[in-house]
């Protein structure tokens, strides 16, 4: 009997996507839901990004983790979500670390596509890898990278497990967000090669949470 992708990912060993001491150090698990206490501390002089940094410093966190399957209201004022205001459900995991840090392939794959999605609130530089594992084809998406990450890649290029293929981008190039990598698993790319939505309409959650299973099956963060 063929095992499900989720079963296979649970028993496989993956290379960290960011430096191991950061990914498997102390995480700050961020709650960005509308009811989060975090928003009570935000004002004109103290942004949500500054509050996250404050909370991270309190516990000496090595990585700031934005959660999978979380409803958020932080997108609606950005250009990228104009006309898509109903899209509030985050279907990747964010790992917040400083710009310039390396990004590694968690397993062998090849470059399916890459692009700079430069609109405010979008991914900025993005890379998508294609993988095959025990009869399953799936993809991993990396958003908010540096522009230099795209300069040496080619479609079809083989990327070995543990190979660095990108770096974390600055806020000025990553769509305007605090520095982080958005990591997402995608089964069916639905005809796309260099982009796939990371925030969806909650009314379509059943489809998207199936097509994009929990990234922590690969990341194994302590969350």
pLDDT in tens, 21-38: 999 999 999 999 989 999
Question: What's the confidence (pLDDT) of residue 25?
Answer: 97
Residue (of 115, 69, 22, 57) closest to 214 by Cα position: 69
Query: Which range is least confidently modeled, 7-16, 73-82, 211-220?
Result: 73-82
Question: What's the confidence (pLDDT) of residue 100?
Answer: 98
**pLDDT tens digits, 127-173:** 999 999 999 999 999 999 999 999 999 999 999 999 999 999 999 99
Containing 206, the helix (H) or strand (E) segment is: helix 205-211
pTM for the full model? 0.94
Q: What is the mean pLDDT of residues 190-219?
A: 96
The per-residue pLDDT of the chain, averaged, comes to 93
Q: How many CB atoms lie within 10 A of CB 49?
A: 15
Containing 185, the helix (H) or strand (E) segment is: strand 181-186
Q: Taking CA 84 as the corner, what is the angle to CA 188 and CA 63, rounded to the nearest 5 degrees?
A: 65
Got the DSSP string for 81-97? GTT-TT--EE-SEEEE-
Higher pLDDT, 77 or 109: 109
Are the C-beta atoms of residues 123 and 195 closer than 8 Å to each other? yes
Residue (of 72, 68, 71, 66) closest to 27 by Cα position: 66
Question: What's the confidence (pLDDT) of residue 86?
Answer: 74
Are the C-beta atoms of residues 117 and 195 closer than 8 Å to each other? yes
**Do the bridges between strand 93-96 and strand 63-66 make them parallel or antiparallel, or are there none, so unpaired?**
antiparallel
Question: What's the confidence (pLDDT) of residue 90?
Answer: 95
Q: Range of 140's domain?
A: 5-219
Beta-carbon contacts of 171 under 8 Å, excluding residues fewer than 6 positions away, are: 99, 177, 178, 179
Higher pLDDT, 39 or 29: 29
DSSP 178: P
The rounded percent of the chain whose pLDDT value lies above 90 is: 86
Q: What is the mean pLDDT of residues 110-134?
A: 96
Containing 65, the helix (H) or strand (E) segment is: strand 63-66
Q: How far is CA 102 from the centre of its chain?
A: 14
Question: What's the confidence (pLDDT) of residue 85?
Answer: 63
Are the C-beta atoms of residues 83 and 75 closer than 8 Å to each other? no
Q: How many domains does the chain have?
A: 1
Q: What is the CATH number of the domain that holds 16?
A: 2.70.70.10
Q: Which residue has the tokens 């205001």?
A: 85
**pLDDT tens digits, 57-98:** 999 999 999 999 999 876 656 555 556 667 889 999 999 999
In the predicted structure, residue 223 carries a pLDDT above the cut 90: no
As a whole number of angstroms, the distance between CA 7 and CA 192 comes to 26
Question: What's the confidence (pLDDT) of residue 97?
Answer: 98
Question: What's the confidence (pLDDT) of residue 73?
Answer: 72
Q: What is the mean pLDDT of residues 99-109?
A: 98
Higher pLDDT, 186 or 74: 186
């Amino acid at each position: 009997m063929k095992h499900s992708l989720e079963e296979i990912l649970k028993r496989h060993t993956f290379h960290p996507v960011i430096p191991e001491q950061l990914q498997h150090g102390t995480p700050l698990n961020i709650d960005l839901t509308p009811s989060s206490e975090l928003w009570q501390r935000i004002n004109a002089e103290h942004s949500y990004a500054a509050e996250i940094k404050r909370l991270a410093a309190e516990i000496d966190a090595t990585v700031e983790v934005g959660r999978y399957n979380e409803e958020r209201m932080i997108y609606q004022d950005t250009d990228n979500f104009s006309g898509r205001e109903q899209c509030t459900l985050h279907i990747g995991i964010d790992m917040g670390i400083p710009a310039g840090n390396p990004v590694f392939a968690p397993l062998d794959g090849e470059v399916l596509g890459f692009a700079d999605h430069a609109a405010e609130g979008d991914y900025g530089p993005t890379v998508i890898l294609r993988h095959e594992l025990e009869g399953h084809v799936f993809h991993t998406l990396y958003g908010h990278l540096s522009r230099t990450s795209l300069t040496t890649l080619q479609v079809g290029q083989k990327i070995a497990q543990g190979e660095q293929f990108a770096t974390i981008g600055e806020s000025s190039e990553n769509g305007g967000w605090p520095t982080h990598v958005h990591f997402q698993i995608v089964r069916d790319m639905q005809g796309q090669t260099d982009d796939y939505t990371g925030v969806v309409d909650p009314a379509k959650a059943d489809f998207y949470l199936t097509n994009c299973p929990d990234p922590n099956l690969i990341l194994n963060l302590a969350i």
